[in-house]
């Protein structure tokens, strides 16, 4: 027989249970949704930055083409002005219409170059924008204005060429006696 005193002298083992903080299932889902939402925001920001970089590359190429066109038109105007001066000197032709058309063409070329410089300055501010579509519309409008100036310059150069041809027809060589 066991005595009751012996029973009390045995060590009593207590098994501790793991303490777990119970989290509501809704809270876990809410945290997962928050993480997905943050990831989606980051993806949108990355795509927007890629779009801005693509726009920047395309617009830089357009600005380069516009600069080349401006240089070509200036070169044509310079050649026509030299030819008009030569005709006026050698044949005594009236080249006032040619000079007026060339002056107007150079004015339009200058306006186009100013607009190109303005677009180039806006290109650097493209990265800081939050609305790339609005910036793209601004560029479209600016490019249309530049194209209009180039068309007007070209029309005036055509007028200058026609006026120069007419001046040559009307003038007689000064070195030849009839």
- Domain ranges (residues) in the chain: 29-170
DSSP state of 174: S
* pLDDT over 70 at 16, yes or no: no
> Is pLDDT larger for residue 1 or for residue 174?
174
* pLDDT over 60 at 178, yes or no: no
Q: Which two tokens stand for residue 72?
A: 């070509």
CA distance 97 to 158: 12
> Is pLDDT larger for residue 93 or for residue 105?
105
> What is the structure's pLDDT at 7?
53
Question: Average pLDDT, stretch 5-17?
Answer: 57
SS3 content of the chain, % helix, strand, coil (to 5): 80, 0, 20
How many other C-beta atoms lie within 10 A of the C-beta of residue 76?
Answer: 18
Confidence of residue 20 (pLDDT cuts 50, 70, 90): low
> What is the structure's pLDDT at 106?
95
* pTM, 2 dp: 0.70
């Amino acid at each position: 027989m066991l005595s009751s005193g012996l029973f009390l002298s045995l060590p009593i083992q207590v098994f501790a249970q793991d303490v777990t903080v119970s989290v509501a299932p809704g809270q876990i889902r809410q945290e997962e949704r928050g993480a997905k939402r943050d990831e989606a925001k980051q993806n949108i920001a990355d795509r927007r930055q890629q779009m801005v970089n693509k726009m920047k590359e395309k617009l830089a190429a357009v600005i380069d083409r516009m600069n080349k066109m401006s240089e070509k038109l200036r070169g044509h105007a310079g050649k026509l002005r030299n030819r008009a001066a030569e005709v006026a000197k050698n044949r005594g032709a009236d080249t006032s219409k040619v000079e007026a058309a060339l002056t107007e063409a150079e004015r339009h070329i200058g306006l186009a170059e100013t607009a190109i410089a303005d677009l180039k300055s806006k290109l650097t501010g493209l990265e800081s924008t939050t609305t790339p579509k609005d910036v793209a519309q601004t560029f479209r409008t600016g490019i249309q204005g530049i194209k209009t100036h180039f068309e007007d310059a070209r029309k005036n150069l055509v007028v200058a060429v026609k006026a120069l041809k007419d001046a040559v027809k009307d003038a007689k060589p000064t070195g030849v006696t009839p």
